[in-house]
Chain A
Amino acid sequence: MPAWLRSRTTRDVLVALIVVFGVGSVAMLLAHASPIDGFSALFNGALGNTSEISETLVQTTALLFPALGIALAFRAGLFNIGAEGQLLLGGLAAGVLGAALPLPGIIIIPVALLAGATVGGLWGGLAGFLRARFGANEVIATLMLNVIAALLATYLVGGPLKEPGAGASETPSLAPSAWLPTILPDTRLTISFVIAIVLALALRYVFTRTVFGYELRAAGEAPEAARRAGINLSRTALTAMALSGAMAGLGGATIVMGVLHRFNTGLSPGYGFIAIAVALVGNLDPLFIIIAAFAFGILQSGAIAMQAEAHVPRDVVGIIEGLVIIALAGRRIVASRKTS
């Protein structure tokens, strides 16, 4: 077998493609639809014209933030499956601040984004703290914190933060000054896309060039060797989880400020989970993660067109994404168990 076929990236991509087209076709057939019609409607709906492409990029952005965070935690040897909760609370923080503070955009936009990142970071950092202090498994901790985050957001929005006359599951609209500026007229594509790309490039630099990234990777790849080389594993776990959560939280804030213009408890259709697959398909390398996020963005945004035109239920996309996560994440967990 040639080397490129043996590499983990290639195999992950192949697995993902097989799942997408193989399982996708089967699911479409089971739904009494033609896979050819289904996939062509899906790709047409995602990439057919400028407005569809921009919508695909909106989905790409929403996946990219949590995927980068998950990749950072993974590189440190930690499996953050709590991006969904971190994203939700980050969005809530941005939504509350953006609606409550009538400030000019130049101030409120950075403040609200920072608030989203901070709250997401605290939520992820909590799992990191539990791991560093008590040795609690971060998979369990982040999974539990997801549930807590969802219930907490529902409670806050329906109770203490409720505005008279507003819906039960959302905060009041943000002041327009807190809306993220669009980068393409008449679309929902905002500067958050640019921020996400810059973040990916920055993260790659951090991984490859900085002492921080070096220590993070050492802790993830060979914890015992890292510890003996003077790297503080507890501190690394705490920092990695906090930063991971901050990226997801920032992503939540950009959805609230750029797309919905208010916080809604249903703001994420599972971005935090799909992002796990995005991070793994991207082999935890920020550059490849951009490409993977775009691929999953196509699935996300093409799903509706597929349902409307080819009469394939959009849930088929959900099934595909779920199976990609199981296939890739499952394989990694098995591999990590074997080596430890």
Chain B
Amino acid sequence: MYAGEIHALVGENGAGKSTLASIAYGSVKADEGTVVANGTVGLVHQHFKLIERLCVWENVLLGREPRSGLGIDRERARAIVRELSARHGLAVDPDAVVETLPVGVKQRVELLRELIREPSVLLLDEPTATLAPSEIDTFFVTVRALADRGAAVLIVTHKLAEVTAYSQRVTVMRAGRIVARYATAQTNADEIARAMVGGDIPALAARDATVQTPRLSVRDLSAGSGRGALANATFDVRSGEIVGIAGIEGNGQTMLSDAIAGVVDYAGELVIDGETIAPTVGPAQRLARGIRVIPQDRRNEALVLDWNIIENVALGRQRNAPLQHHGIIDRKVAAAYAKEVIERFDVRPPNPSAIVGALSGGNQQKVVVGRALADAPKLVVAYQPTRGIDIGAATLVQSRLIEARNAGAAVLLISFELDEIFALADRVYVMFGGRFVGAFERASIDRGRIGSLMAGGT
């Protein structure tokens, strides 16, 4: 990496990007090899490492607070943070408590916390994962300015649009190795993507023409309180269509998904095929009515990690015939279910007795999605169904969702990746602050307007 340059480190999940950044920073020890840095190294993590209960200046100056006798010189602390934030164009209120801040501002705090140490090398791990499109532009203006002042900046990312737009050089990693290096000006997104995957990117399943009839009807649905609450959501999903929910993380999507799953209390109306589902109806009856929710946290909300594939594929169906007979689980049926999912979703290793916790994230997700799509569901809610999995697995999961739609399922796709929504959805709703703030048909999708609505614009 050179001073004055933005260097992109790209690769699929699990390629070793974050590990490499952590080794460069010094928080992970290298087994072999050396890291030489001219000056200090700063790292901003993908998941913020801020103390939520403390305010901005307390976080930024943690461990280097200006002293006054035995106490802290608060006035000077505020002044330092104000000066720093003005110098870098990162506007924050030094006295705001971190937990009250929106994600984009938290990221500025995280950045300031590194900048106070004046690093000459700055490593940014997936810095734009939680930012709105407009915030991403602002963010890169700041990063560019840092580089112009002589810092060497590394952005670890899997978003190729950012790589081509903002970096000067690109390093591609695959399976723990560096497989390609490019000058950004002399390459393109396709070439980088092929280097990441190590071949051509598989094609998505075709979207068939479908007969669409009303399936899910949601009226004035509200759930939760405070940040992340859902407020008066009203929308429909028809059979044979994928409806995408675009929005930045933390804008009510979790409550929406949990309300449909029946694991949170809610007000408003939820109707499936003309049948009202009251808030008191639990997950078991919802499963019985053909509702399947692919939750966002597969490790905690969907899988029993110490169990094998057979046992995990049975989860949620354990009381249904023919899997269950007089309270006894039929092992042959359970094994057949698992085999079906393994074959349809190309789960590796194709061993039904493999412990799920030992599978890669992509294969774990294949088990979760395979189970959800197994017995012709009426409604599928897919919450970030391809989060953190490699392109091959992601394309396969997306294709199976399209096939479920082709077969007549109503699919509600909640995703923070606009590209995923545009690739799959027949219609798009935009969520901001717990509300539905926009609706688009596939034919009239307006990327710019959706991006602006996601950030709270009009």
Contacts and interface: CB of A to CB of B under 8 A. Distances in A.
Interface stretch (A9-17, A207-215, A267-275): A207-215
A133 interface: no
Contact of B319 (A221, A225, A230): A230
Contacts of B304: 217-218, 221-222, 225-226
Interface of chain A: mostly helix, strand, loop or mixed? helix
Given A214-B314, A222-B303, A228 B327 contact: no
Which bracket fits the contact residues of B? Answer: 20 to 34
A78 B266 CA distance: 30
Contact of B283 (A215, A218, A221, A227): A227
A230 B282 contact: yes
B263 A210 contact: no
Given A214-B311, A214-B314, A228 B306 contact: no
A50 interface: no
Contacts of A228: 261, 263, 283, 293, 295, 301-302, 316
A215 B295 CA distance: 19
Contacts of A226: 304, 315
Contact of B329 (A210, A230, A232): A210
A225 B328 CA distance: 21
A224 B299 CA distance: 10
Given A209-B328, A230-B287, A214 B318 contact: yes
Which bracket fits the contact residues of A? Answer: 10 to 19
A225 B302 contact: yes
Contacts of A210: 327-329
A227 B300 CA distance: 11
A293 B318 CA distance: 33
A194 interface: no
Interface string B267-279: 0000000000000
A227 B304 CA distance: 12
B355 to A, nearest CB: 12
B318 A225 contact: no
Contact of A227 (B263, B307, B314): B263
A238 to B, nearest CB: 16
Interface in A216-266: 217-218, 221-222, 224-232
B300 to A, nearest CB: 5
A230 B295 CA distance: 14
B318 to A, nearest CB: 5
Contacts of B303: 222, 225
Contacts of A229: 283, 287, 315-316, 318
B284 interface: yes
Given A214-B314, A214-B318, A225-B303, A232 B282 contact: yes
Contacts of A232: 282, 284
Nearest to A220: B304
A218 B305 CA distance: 10
B199 to A, nearest CB: 34
Contacts of B286: 230
A283 to B, nearest CB: 13
Contacts of A209: 328-329, 331
B324 interface: yes
A209 B310 CA distance: 13
Nearest to B285: A230
Best-buried of A209, A221, A225 by chain B (most CB within 10 Å) = A225
Given A209-B328, A228-B283, A228-B293, A221 B306 contact: yes
14 contacts: A209-B329, A209-B331, A210-B328, A210-B329, A212-B327, A218-B315, A224-B301, A225-B300, A225-B302, A225-B303, A226-B304, A228-B293, A230-B282, A232-B282
Interface of A: 209-212, 214-215, 217-218, 221-222, 224-232
* 3 nearest A-B residue pairs (beta carbon): A230-B284, A229-B316, A222-B304
Given A221-B305, A228-B316, A230-B285, 4 more contacts: A210-B329, A227-B283, A230-B283, A230-B288
